[in-house]
């Protein structure tokens, strides 16, 4: 009787230990799964800064988000004389200066409800009204441009203390219809906007050098703009790819 009892106790202990071990193993697996899940969630949340939430949701679910036409205000910004700067400072310094610049510009844009759709070296493409319906997108884009000017002025003071050359910025604003969607190949894709509106914003940015100003906008933006923005009309200029000469306005300040 006693050996049988001992055997039963041994079996029970073995089963209990085996179950405890299995439970611990399951717990570890669950913890790893939770960890991976959290990383994915954070990634998904972070992605919502770069593409509309529905696009992120569709990507997370493994489906292709559709391309769409949207009425947006495009801000195209480029550093003036950056190529010259890139030849005169150390590569590490150049990258640090550029990253500092981009961080400040992105902050100014996000603060005014825009989002950066593309970084192109020292330039950037930002969209207003691309994620959500935004009836005040022109005002937002103009305020962002002024905030970028102010950020750059502050950054230049920091660079001056380091005896680095000051940066100068050209910004072009234009409103119109763009096509938004995932652009790229399977290896590298980006949610961005393409079309004539984007091209014209880039050309208007180029015109800042011709006119000797830092912020230029087109008629499509001007007619929607709060009258408290102080503008100066500039002579029409021909730009590549556009049949008619383009009339632009220099944005001086906000008189609020």
If one asks whether residue 67 binds another protein (CB under 8 A), the answer comes out as no
If one asks whether residue 53 binds another protein (CB under 8 A), the answer comes out as yes
- Tokens found for residue 179: 């096509």
If one asks whether residue 78 binds another protein (CB under 8 A), the answer comes out as no
Give the separation between CA 72 and CA 141, rounded to whole angstroms.
10
Q: Which of 78, 139, 151, 214 binds another protein (CB under 8 A)?
A: 139
Q: Which of 4, 5, 61, 186 binds another protein (CB under 8 A)?
A: 61
Least Cβ distance, residue 14 to another protein (angstroms): 13
Give the separation between CA 57 and CA 42, rounded to whole angstroms.
13
Burial class (CB in 10 A: 0-12, 13-18, 19+), 196: middle
Q: Can you list the pairs that 80-84 forms with residues at least 24 positions away whose Cβ atoms lie under 8 Å?
A: 80/167, 80/168, 80/169, 80/170, 80/208, 80/209, 81/168, 82/121, 82/122, 82/167
| Residue 166: HSE in the Cβ half-sphere, 13 Å Cα cutoff | 10
Q: Which of 90, 132, 162, 255 binds another protein (CB under 8 A)?
A: 132
Stretch 100-129 residues interacting with another protein (CB under 8 A): 113
Q: Which of 14, 28, 160, 232 binds another protein (CB under 8 A)?
A: 28
Q: Which of 36, 60, 120, 150 binds another protein (CB under 8 A)?
A: 60
If one asks whether residue 68 binds another protein (CB under 8 A), the answer comes out as no
If one asks whether residue 255 binds another protein (CB under 8 A), the answer comes out as no
Least Cβ distance, residue 115 to another protein (angstroms): 12
Give the separation between CA 54 and CA 81, rounded to whole angstroms.
39
Give me the sign of the Cα torsion angle 114, 116, 117, 120. Answer: positive
Q: Which of 6, 36, 37, 233 binds another protein (CB under 8 A)?
A: 37
- Binding residues (CB under 8 A) for another protein: these are 16, 19-20, 23-24, 27-28, 30-31, 34, 37-38, 41-42, 45, 52-54, 57, 60-61, 113, 131-136, 139, 226-228, 256
């Amino acid at each position: 009787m006693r050996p049988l009892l001992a055997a039963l106790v041994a079996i029970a202990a073995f089963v209990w230990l085996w179950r405890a071990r299995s439970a611990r193993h399951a717990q570890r697996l669950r913890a790893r799964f939770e960890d991976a899940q959290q990383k994915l969630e954070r990634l998904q949340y972070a992605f919502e800064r770069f593409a509309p939430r529905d696009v992120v949701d569709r990507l997370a679910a493994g489906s292709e988000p559709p391309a769409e036409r949207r009425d947006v205000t495009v801000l195209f910004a480029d550093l003036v004389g950056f190529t010259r700067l890139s030849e005169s400072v150390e590569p590490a310094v150049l990258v640090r200066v550029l990253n500092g610049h981009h961080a400040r510009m992105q902050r100014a844009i996000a603060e005014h409800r825009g989002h950066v759709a593309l970084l192109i070296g020292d330039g950037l493409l930002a969209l207003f009204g691309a994620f959500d319906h935004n009836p005040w997108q022109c005002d937002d884009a103009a305020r962002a441009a002024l905030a970028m000017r102010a950020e750059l002025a502050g950054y230049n003071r920091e660079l001056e203390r380091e005896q680095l050359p000051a940066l100068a910025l050209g910004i072009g604003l234009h409103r119109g219809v763009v096509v938004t969607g995932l652009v790229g190949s399977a290896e590298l894709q980006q949610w961005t906007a393409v079309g004539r509106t984007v091209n014209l914003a880039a050309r208007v940015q180029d015109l800042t050098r011709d006119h000797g100003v830092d912020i230029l906008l087109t008629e499509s933006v001007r007619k929607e703009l709060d009258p408290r923005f102080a503008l100066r009309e500039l002579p029409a200029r021909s730009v590549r790819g556009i049949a008619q000469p383009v009339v632009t306005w220099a944005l001086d300040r906000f008189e609020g």
